């Protein structure tokens, strides 16, 4: 029967990762997959994670199953981190998932269960896997304008105009912070306008928050999610611990279903547990346990926060260096948006042909839509990239 299988489209981010590995040149620069790397090009295990693992190894006495929604202590700790006390705890159903992607997938499945005809409004552009999973699930994606190539900022008027088309029964997918792939984000006034529009149309927001702490700081990055969750009747929040705890391969995420009606929480919680059971039964525990230990221990938490802040500041410094270097080489502020963007990514705003030229001529790998992982740079490679961008005629 397997002869009937058709080959599936390659994920463009993961295909790029492989192409970089296969390139024999030594002076190559990987700005592809969204994994943090320090100045030495290493993705380190964070100090607090190492310490928590050590403690866990000494103290853990069983690997027996925990629960279909994972350990409630993990949900509690993550809810405090993301929502703080903006929403009463009894209004939130939550389940651990295998990474942020697991949370996104489960969120889409929950939407489909509730309304098989729901349309999911997604930013143009969005993380390619959002679209891929929606297509796989047979759900309709509707693009809303988001990025303005000419300014490197958000096309807010276009976004609002397109979101007018979302109706009750539809879902609007928003990136909580550090928009992937563009790096361009809404300001507080714009977030409020989106929330008001959602409340007018009755569409339900779904927030994907995978980079909390990478933009303007842990608290500032969570602010839009808190505003949304406290002001709309219901929403979904898919959170990832991959980046801010640096535990990518441990697959640690959380899906929250928030309702202003606490009476809905039991049904939402039961649905999340059911969906986990159908897809993979119990969610992974190791990463979730580390996160819980770190968030609940004041010393580990302080150390984690300070290392995360170093990571955030190093990416900001690289952004400023790159924007400054391009300013010097071009004599214009054309690339000033790179310093305004936040998070791991920036969209350069150039053609696939020039992205290809950067790869072939300079060994610089970025996603075809010109998304660059800023953390793939260091102080020495920033001038190399800037020079290549100018030489390629971007
Ligand atoms: C990315 O956007 O590069 C990351 O979220 C990694 C992935 O799984 O695509």
The residue whose CB lies within 8 Å of the most ligand 1 atoms, and thus the one to mutate among 20, 31, 34, 376, is 34
> Cα-atom radius of gyration of the chain, to the nearest Å?
21
Report yes or no: 239 and 103 within 8 Å, Cβ to Cβ: yes
Sequence-distant (6+) residues with CB within 8 A of 234 are: 204, 257, 258, 259, 260, 261, 264
**Residue 14 Cα: closest atom of ligand 1:** 9
Pick the atom of ligand 1 nearest to 242's CA: 5
Residue whose CB lies within 8 A of the most ligand 1 atoms, among 129, 180, 243, 347, for a mutation test: 129
CA of 262 to the centre of ligand 1 (A): 34
C-alpha dihedral (320, 324, 326, 331), degrees to nearest 10 = 150
Tell which residue, 7, 32, 8, has the closest CA to residue 19. 32
**Ligand 1 center to 96 CA (angstroms):** 19
Nearest to 350 by CA among 145, 146, 186, 152: 152
Q: What is the pLDDT of residue 257?
A: 98
pLDDT of residue 218: 98
* Whether the Cβ atoms of residue 180 and residue 211 lie closer than 8 Å to each other: yes
CA-proximal residue: ligand 1, atom 6 (nearest) = 34
How many helices and strands (H and E) does the chain possess? 14, 13
Q: How far is the CA of 13 from the centre of ligand 1 (A)?
A: 7
Q: Which residue puts its alpha carbon closest to atom 1 of ligand 1?
A: 34
pTM for the structure as a whole: 0.97
**Active-site annotation, residues:** 127, 208, 210, 243
Probe ligand 1: pick from 97, 127, 210, max atoms within 8 Å of CB? 127
181 CA from centroid of ligand 1 (Å): 9
Q: pLDDT 10s digit of each residue in the chain, 394 long?
A: 999 999 998 888 999 999 999 999 999 999 999 999 999 999 999 999 999 999 999 999 999 999 999 999 999 999 999 999 999 999 999 999 999 999 999 999 999 999 999 999 999 999 999 999 999 999 999 999 999 999 999 999 999 999 999 999 999 999 999 999 999 999 999 999 999 999 999 999 999 999 999 999 999 999 999 999 999 999 999 999 999 999 999 999 999 999 999 999 999 999 999 999 999 999 999 999 999 999 999 999 999 999 999 999 999 999 999 999 999 999 999 999 999 999 999 999 999 999 999 999 999 999 999 999 999 999 999 999 999 999 999 8
Residue nearest to atom 4 of ligand 1 (CA): 34
Take atom 2 of ligand 1 and give the residue whose Cα is closest: 34
360-361-366-371 Cα dihedral, nearest 10 degrees: -120
14 C-alpha vs ligand 1 centroid, how far in Å?
8
Spacing, Cα 129 to ligand 1 middle (Å): 8
For the CA of 127, the closest atom of ligand 1 is 2
Identify the pLDDT of residue 136: 97
* Lining residues, ligand 1, CB within 6 Å: 13, 33-34, 127, 129, 180
For ligand 1, the distance from its centroid to the CA atom of residue 34, given in whole angstroms, is 5
Q: Which of 11, 12, 13, 128 to mutate for ligand 1's pocket (most ligand atoms within 8 Å of CB)?
A: 13
Please choose, from the candidates 119, 110, 115, 127, the residue with its C-alpha nearest in 3D space to the C-alpha of residue 163: 119
């Amino acid at each position: 029967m397997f002869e009937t299988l058709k080959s599936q489209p390659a994920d463009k981010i993961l295909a790029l990762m492989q192409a970089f590995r296969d390139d024999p040149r030594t002076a190559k620069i990987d700005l592809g997959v969204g994994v943090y790397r320090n100045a030495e090009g290493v993705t380190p295990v964070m100090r607090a994670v190492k310490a928590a693992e050590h403690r866990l190894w000494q103290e853990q006495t069983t690997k027996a199953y925990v629960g279909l929604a994972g350990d409630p202590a993990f949900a509690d700790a993550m809810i405090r981190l993301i929502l703080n006390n903006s929403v009463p705890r009894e209004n939130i159903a939550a389940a651990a998932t295998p990474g942020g992607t697991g949370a996104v997938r489960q969120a889409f499945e929950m939407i489909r269960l509730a309304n098989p005809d729901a349309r999911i409004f997604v930013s143009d552009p969005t993380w390619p896997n959002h679209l891929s999973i929606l297509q796989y699930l047979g759900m309709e994606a509707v693009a809303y304008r988001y990025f303005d190539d000419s300014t490197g900022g958000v096309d807010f008027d276009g976004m609002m105009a397109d979101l007018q088309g979302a109706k009750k029964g539809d879902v609007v997918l928003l990136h909580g912070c550090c928009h992937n792939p563009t790096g361009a984000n809404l300001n507080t006034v714009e977030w409020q306008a989106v929330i008001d529009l959602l409340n007018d149309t009755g569409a339900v927001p779904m927030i994907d928050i995978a980079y909390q702490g990478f933009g303007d700081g842990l608290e500032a990055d969570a602010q839009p999610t808190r505003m949304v969750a406290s002001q709309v009747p219901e929403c979904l929040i898919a959170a990832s611990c991959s980046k801010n705890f640096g535990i990518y391969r441990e697959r640690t995420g959380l899906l929250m279903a928030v309702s202003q009606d606490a009476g809905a929480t039991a049904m939402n919680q039961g649905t999340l547990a059911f969906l986990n059971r159908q897809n993979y039964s119990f969610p992974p525990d190791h990463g979730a346990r580390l996160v819980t230990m770190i968030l609940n221990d004041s010393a580990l938490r302080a150390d984690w926060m300070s290392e995360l802040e170093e990571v955030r500041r190093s990416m900001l410094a690289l952004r400023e260096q790159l924007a400054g270097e391009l300013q010097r080489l071009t004599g214009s502020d054309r690339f000033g948006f790179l310093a305004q963007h936040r998070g791991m990514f920036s969209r350069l705003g150039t053609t696939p042909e020039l992205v290809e030229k950067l790869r072939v001529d300079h060994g610089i790998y970025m996603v075809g839509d010109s998304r660059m992982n800023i953390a793939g740079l260091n102080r020495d490679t920033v001038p190399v990239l800037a020079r290549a961008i100018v030489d390629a005629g971007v």
